[in-house]
Amino acid sequence: MSTRTIMISKIHVAKRQLALPDDSYRDVLRRKTGKESTGAMSHGELETVLREFERLGFKPTKRGTFSKEKQIRMIRAVWKDITHLGIDAEDHVAALRSFVGRVTRTKVNPLGVSDPEFLDSTQANKVLEGLKAWRTRLRQQAQKVAA
* 75/135 same-domain check: yes
Predicted local distance difference test score (pLDDT) of residue 1: 62
* 9/50 same-domain check: yes
Give the DSSP H or E segment for 78.
helix 68-84
Per-residue pLDDT 10s for the chain (147 aa) are 678 888 898 899 999 989 999 999 999 999 999 999 999 999 899 999 999 999 999 987 765 555 678 889 999 999 999 988 877 777 888 899 999 999 999 888 888 888 898 888 889 999 999 999 999 999 998 888 887
Residue 85: which domain range? 68-146
* 91/43 same-domain check: no
Q: pLDDT tens digit string along 9-20?
A: 889 999 998 999
92: which DSSP letter?
H
* 77/98 same-domain check: yes
* 78/48 same-domain check: no
* 25/93 same-domain check: no
Is residue 134 within 8 Å of 142, Cβ to Cβ? Answer: no
Residue 60 lies in a domain: no
* 84/134 same-domain check: yes
Number of domains the chain contains: 2
* 103/136 same-domain check: yes
* 74/139 same-domain check: yes
* 111/138 same-domain check: yes
Q: Give the HSE-up count for residue 141: Cα atoms under 13 Å, Cβ half-sphere.
A: 10
Residue type, 21: P
Residue 43 lies in a domain: yes
